[in-house]
Amino acid sequence: MSLAIALFKFGHIAALLVWCAGLIALPIMLAQHQHGDGQARYARVRKFTHYSYTRLVTPAAVIAVGAGIVLIFLRSTFVPWFFAKMAFVGALVVLHALIGGVVIRMGEEKGDVIAPRPFLPVALVIAVIVAILALVLAKPVISPGSAPEWLQSPRNKSLLVEEVPT
C-alpha cells in the first residue's frame, strides 16, 4: 500500500510540475506574437503553443488529476482542507480552459489574433498554485462547521431531473 502511495504521489507531482509550468509558460509564449510579425513567426508561435497545449500540458493535467483521484482513496483525504484544495483546483482548471481558448483563437480565427498581455493570467495561475500548495503542505485543520450554512443542511428541493426509476 505504501509503495502504491509513493508511486501515485510521484506521478501526481511529476505531472503537476509539467501542468503548472505549462500554464505559466503558455501565456508568455502566446504574447510573443506582435502586430506586424511575418507569417513564419506567427506560424511558429501558433504551432509551438498549440502542440504544447494539446500534446504536453493537457495530457499532464489529465495524469495529475487521475493520480490525484487515486490518492484520494489511498490516503482517505475526506477532510475539509482537501475540499478547499479542490475549489482551488477547479479555479486552475478554469484558467487552463481560458488559456486553451486563446490558443484556439490564435489558430482558428481569421486574421491576426493578438493574445492578451501575460501578466494577469500568469499572476492568477501562480496565486492559485500557491494557495493549493499552502493547503496541501500545511493541511490546516478547518472546522466543518465553518462552511456556509447552505452547504451543511438539506435544501429540501426536488431534483431538476426525473428521479432514477427503482
Query: Which residues are at the interface with ligand HEM (CB under 6 A)?
Result: 9, 12-13, 16, 20, 64-65, 68-69, 71-72, 75, 77, 89, 92, 129, 132-133, 136-137
Whole-angstrom distance, CA of residue 81 vs CA of residue 77: 9
CB of 6 to ligand HEM, least distance (A): 10
User: Which residue number, 68 or 115, has a Cβ lying nearer to ligand HEM?
Assistant: 68
Whole-angstrom distance, CA of residue 48 vs CA of residue 74: 37
CB of 59 to ligand HEM, least distance (A): 15
CB of 109 to ligand HEM, least distance (A): 30
103, three cell numbers: 490558443
1, three cell numbers: 500500500
Whole-angstrom distance, CA of residue 50 vs CA of residue 44: 10
Whole-angstrom distance, CA of residue 89 vs CA of residue 73: 18
In the complex, residue closest to ligand HEM by CB:
68
User: Which residue number, 9 or 46, has a Cβ lying nearer to ligand HEM?
Assistant: 9
